[in-house]
Amino acid sequence: MRASLLLLALLAGLAACTDETPKQALPPPRIWSGEDVTMPLPQLQGPLAPLGPRAPQRIVSLIPSATELVCVLGLEDRLVGRSRWCDSPESIRQLPDLGGLQDFQAERIADLKPDLVLLFDTLPSLEKTLSEEFHIQCVTPRTEREDQVFDGLRTSAHALDAAARGEALISALQQQLQEVEHQNASGPHPTVLVVLDRSPPFAACPGSFVDLLVRAAGGRNAVRIPPLERPWCALSAETIIDLAPDVIVDLSIGEDADDALKAGEAYWSTFPTLPAVRTGRVHLLKAPALARPGPRIVEAARLLARIIHTQ
């Protein structure tokens, strides 16, 4: 009887210790904003090659990366309209905001009398209306795949009749990207999950231009499915756990960045077993340029290298 009582007392004591032992708090995600994510637009070196005779006089760009390209190639003064997401350089924010992906209106665009509209190829009905009803030239550069990035930039440069300037930029970007990759060739190569949205979780896959940036930065894409036509994929919670990324880069910052950052911290705390969460290597970015396949891809690779190798 005495032995039984002692055993019960011992078990009760152990249970009490277990209940009173505080759980180890997870390290909070690292938030990158402000000067940490400054990525200036590149500048073409030397005198600019002359524009061709068919260079458009009035340009509407609904693609943030294409808008940046227009400015880098020296045609910013010809921009007459932009999308809600076109925010760089800061000087273009005075231009008419024509909306986002769901609310572009062909009539509003046509009222600006553009002779060129750069838009996503995921807007075929808008393109058809602008080209067939309003007789406006439309160009839909594809740049989301690794093998399309530079050809997409080239397509836009040709549409701007600035082919020589475009080739000079592309050559410089390719060389600088190789230099970044060389700088990060040695040392650890952590697995990296780049999340573009959390509702549902949506990530960059192999074959995407983001995958190119991850490799140049010295990382390995945690997503391992084969390249897709559209190199982005939805992930279940179970898949995220199976991927077990060493580093998570979360780019899902909406119009209300502060709320999105709070939501991101709460979201990743529900994955306490992930190596990235346990070690405090979850990074929330207020840096949309990291998801833009345009002139700032080299700066994006450099920023990603800083993030990946931050302990």
* Series of mean pLDDT values for 10-residue runs along the chain (311 residues): 42 43 74 83 92 97 97 97 93 95 92 97 95 98 93 97 97 97 93 92 92 96 81 92 96 72 88 96 84 93 92 70
Whole-Å CA distances, 25 to 260, 266, 280: 21, 13, 11
Same domain (yes/no): 236, 271? yes
218 within domain boundaries: yes
Secondary structure letter of residue 139 according to DSSP: E
Predicted pLDDT at 14: 40
Same domain (yes/no): 198, 296? yes
Structural domain for 145, as ranges? 59-161
Owner of token pair 């896959």: 205
Same domain (yes/no): 153, 197? no
258 within domain boundaries: yes
45 within domain boundaries: no
Supply the CATH number for residue 87's domain.
3.40.50.1980
Same domain (yes/no): 113, 226? no
51 within domain boundaries: no
R_g of the chain, CA atoms, integer Å: 24
Phi, psi of 219 (to 5 degrees): -120, 175
- Whole-number Å distance between alpha carbons of 32 and 283: 7
Nearest to 232 by CA among 146, 138, 154: 146
Count the domains in the chain. Answer: 2
Same domain (yes/no): 64, 140? yes
Same domain (yes/no): 118, 195? no
179 within domain boundaries: no
236 within domain boundaries: yes
Question: How far does Cα 66 stand from its chain's mean position?
Answer: 14
Same domain (yes/no): 69, 96? yes
Same domain (yes/no): 196, 299? yes
* pTM of the full structure: 0.88
207 within domain boundaries: yes
Predicted pLDDT at 195: 94
66 within domain boundaries: yes
Predicted pLDDT at 256: 65
Same domain (yes/no): 142, 226? no
Buried (b) or exposed (e) across 200-221, using 16+ Cβ within 10 A?
ebbbbbbbbbbbbbbbbbbbbb
Same domain (yes/no): 195, 284? yes
Predicted pLDDT at 2: 45
Same domain (yes/no): 272, 228? yes
Same domain (yes/no): 121, 155? yes
